[in-house]
Amino acid sequence: MAIIYDSTHRTFKLDTKNSSYIIKIYDENYILNLYYGAPIPDTYLAKREKRYPNASFSLANPVIGEHGFTPDTAPIEYGCNGAADFRISALAIRNASGDSVTDIRYTGHKIYTGKEEIPNQPSSYAVDGDAETLELYAIDAVTGAKVTLYYTVFADAGVMTRRVRVENASDKTFDIERVFSMCVDLPTMDYELVSLYGRHAKERHIERRPLAHGVQGVESKRGVSSHAQNPFIALAECGSTEEHGSVYGFNLVYSGNFSALVECDFNGTSRVLLGINPTDFGWKLAPGEAFDTPEAVMVYTDGGMGEMSRVFHRFYNTHLIRGKWQYAKRPLLINSWEAAYFDFDTDKLVAFAKAAKEMGIEMLVMDDGWFGKRNDDTNSLGDWFVNTDKLPGGLAPLIEQVNAEGLKFGIWYEPEMISPDSELFRAHPDWCVHVAGREPMIGRHQYVLDVSRKDVRENIWQQMYDVLSKHKIDYVKWDFNRNISDAGSAILPPERQKEFFHRFILGTYDLMNRLVTTFPDILFENCSGGGGRFDPAMLCYSPQIWTSDNTDPIDRLYIQFGTSLAYPASCMSAHVSACRRTGFETRGSVAMWGTFGYELDPRKLTAEEVAIVKEQIKEYHDTYDLVRRGDLYRLVSPFENKHRAIWEIVSPEKDRAMVTMVTFHCEVCGIVIAKLRGLDPQRYYKNEMTGEILSGAALMNAGLVLSGLSADDGESLTVYFTAVE
């Protein structure tokens, strides 16, 4: 049993293979957290409820009395606003009488095998009943808010997920002002906060800072999860490394405005919150209605950041990504964007396909520029009909010719956008996201389409359905090229405008869900100016995401190392482009640690480059399973080493491994010794490059000698290992 209820102590114990989590129902039905950390056998730990009793100026519950327990310092399981817990709160409800005091107490629980879906939202799933769920019921007696705290334990995966439902069980409407997906009080603040910051073309760079007293954290209010901060944070024990030490990882399955906050209080404890950003959020809940938060994924391990990442990777590959393309081999693609931008026609694309076919590429993706009158980025978003000047006769003749070359065919969309210069905008000027009396801000010459509206979604759905149902389209790249300002919807009443951002995301999910269920064979790839919507929610609809518009392999090292903190290689789209900063080999080595593909004009390659591409494609097929199923070890991080990055991927069976080193800002590169990880110490492995056979123990302790690179910037070396019997 992964979830146990100890009725003597009124505690719940939630166990994964990496962690234990203990919840206590205390006097007056306060719900407290007694423990979250490495596995322990106990179901109760005494003297943890009061944690720091009797602090001056702390307030007491009048029934419990002034001696000992105070909500000010107790480890409250789901902190509420205004009832003597002064830390950042997970829940605040403004009730009919206008105050926002909220105070929930336990009323009951249910434990069952499996996991329910969240209505209308993406979330992780159980496989063959490999999860158990605890529903903890609580009520705020005054507002009548019934709160369900959901905990799902994936014991073998080492993962726990949480989410919250608020129902209005009163006879008056109330306003939810903040409702986080999870809250956890940890007893110390001896952690560093790890987060992933960035911008367009520089996504998910790793940042690590010690916790300090007060509130700290990261968030987005851009309407999307964003390039600027990812909905992921970790708390890494001070002194922990890739391989050692306690780490808590938190990731939100949400594509909208999020907040990941940590408050360290005067006692040196840490409260962690993750959920919808309360800024620009509010939700009116009428009697009988319910509100569901997105899901938070939680990983604890004492195996360092590296193990935390591997737990996330396995979990996302097996319990989040879904559909045909979760496990089916995905086609190796070439994308037209960097090769042609808007300048293409049928003949050029067919010529790309011919040249690509020669090298072994399996799919041609026609990027932006095929619809309306779009020859640059100033117009036509929303007009999803073919530009027959470019593609005479429409898509059918093009697709037939591409297919005749033996290639599949993919297409680009940006469904949630509208150009002011479009037929759609001229017909429906109020369909863009805007507020009364203000001209909306413009980005890349475009507005955002108000997909919180059903009529708007229906229009886009019809247009997409017409194209996708009538043509042999194997792949869709779904883009989103600006952030959302002037947030409001023409059809929401004033008192509901605060619901807009969340309604927008629910609208996006609805449209995506309709498409992926209607076209289960299409491979969807998510994109937002590169990786501006690289989050777990998008992985529920598209098993791969364009990691960044930046395809420079050295810049990509940072982006991919950062992205890999939470997200697996199977979803990190990575292409070899025409970027000249390094040779072709290194571009291939870096892209190989991802979905792999090309983004260049295949007609312009030299004979020598064509030969390299053919080699790379052989290597891609050979390592396809290893990269997608294997365990990642970040041996040398570019964030910590000025000269090189080294990563290793080991098959789950520990019978194959690949180690790649890329050098940059190069000193004279002498001998580098990389201590490998994750091998079986007892087995022997053949170095496929040198033929040398060494034990796993030797490779992990004495290390692998990597040499042979010149002093040039941007060289790479990949060594393969195979276990010998």
Residues lying near ligand GLA in the complex (CB under 6 A): 337, 367-368, 412, 479, 481, 527, 529-530, 546, 549
Strand ranges in 468-552 using DSSP code E only, listed in sequence order:
475-478, 523-526, 544-546
**Shortest spacing between CB 708 and ligand GLA, in angstroms:** 35
- Distance between CA 431 and CA 504 in Å, rounded? 12
**Shortest spacing between CB 547 and ligand GLA, in angstroms:** 10
CB 367 within 8 A of CB 477: yes
Q: Can you say how many angstroms the Cα of residue 87 is from the centroid of all Cα atoms in its chain?
A: 27
Scanning 481-534, the segments in alpha helix (DSSP H) are: 500-518
Closer residue to ligand GLA (CB): 412 or 620: 412
Closer residue to ligand GLA (CB): 546 or 664: 546
Amino acid at 507: G
Closer residue to ligand GLA (CB): 69 or 337: 337
Closer residue to ligand GLA (CB): 598 or 685: 598
Buried b (16+ CB within 10 A) or exposed e, 24-46: bbbeeebbbbbbbbeeeeebeee
Q: Cβ atoms within 10 A of the Cβ of 114, count?
A: 13
Kindly report the CA angle at 595 between 593 and 598, in degrees rounded to 5? 100
**Shortest spacing between CB 311 and ligand GLA, in angstroms:** 29
Residues 6+ apart with CB under 8 A from 602: 334, 339, 352, 355, 356, 358, 359, 361
**Shortest spacing between CB 523 and ligand GLA, in angstroms:** 16
- Distance between CA 212 and CA 262 in Å, rounded? 9
Closer residue to ligand GLA (CB): 139 or 334: 334
Using the structure block, give the residue that is written with the tokens 């809250």. Answer: 183
- Provide the sign of the torsion angle of the four alpha carbons 50, 51, 56, 60, taken in this order: negative
**Shortest spacing between CB 377 and ligand GLA, in angstroms:** 6
Of the candidates 157, 275, 262, 201, the one whose C-alpha atom is nearest the C-alpha of residue 537 is 275
C-beta nearest to ligand GLA: residue: 368
- Distance between CA 522 and CA 408 in Å, rounded? 11
Closer residue to ligand GLA (CB): 310 or 575: 575
**Which of the following is catalytic: 479, 552, 555, 631?**
479
Q: Backbone dihedral region of 380: left (phi > 0), alpha (psi from -120 to 50 degrees) or beta?
A: left
Q: Can you say how many angstroms the Cα of residue 477 is from the centroid of all Cα atoms in its chain?
A: 17
Task: Give the C-alpha distances (Å, rounded to integers) separating 454 from 132, 449, 487, 507, 508.
Answer: 35, 12, 17, 8, 11
Whether 549 is a known active-site residue: answer yes
**Shortest spacing between CB 381 and ligand GLA, in angstroms:** 10
CB 541 within 8 A of CB 519: no
Closer residue to ligand GLA (CB): 579 or 709: 579
**Shortest spacing between CB 198 and ligand GLA, in angstroms:** 14
**Shortest spacing between CB 367 and ligand GLA, in angstroms:** 5
- Provide the sign of the torsion angle of the four alpha carbons 680, 681, 682, 687, taken in this order: positive
Q: Cβ atoms within 10 A of the Cβ of 108, count?
A: 10
Residues 6+ apart with CB under 8 A from 615: none
**Shortest spacing between CB 323 and ligand GLA, in angstroms:** 22
**Shortest spacing between CB 444 and ligand GLA, in angstroms:** 8
Of the candidates 275, 200, 264, 202, the one whose C-alpha atom is nearest the C-alpha of residue 233 is 275
- Distance between CA 615 and CA 585 in Å, rounded? 10
Using the structure block, give the residue that is written with the tokens 């870096």. Answer: 590
Q: Backbone dihedral region of 433: left (phi > 0), alpha (psi from -120 to 50 degrees) or beta?
A: beta
Closer residue to ligand GLA (CB): 468 or 657: 468
Task: Give the C-alpha distances (Å, rounded to integers) separating 633 from 17, 156, 679.
Answer: 20, 20, 11
Which 3 state secondary structure label does DSSP give 34? strand
Strand ranges in 30-131 using DSSP code E only, listed in sequence order:
31-37, 91-94, 105-113
Closer residue to ligand GLA (CB): 130 or 203: 203
Closer residue to ligand GLA (CB): 250 or 337: 337
Whether 367 is a known active-site residue: answer no
Closer residue to ligand GLA (CB): 500 or 546: 546
**Which of the following is catalytic: 549, 552, 555, 631?**
549
**Shortest spacing between CB 597 and ligand GLA, in angstroms:** 12
Active-site residue set: 479, 549
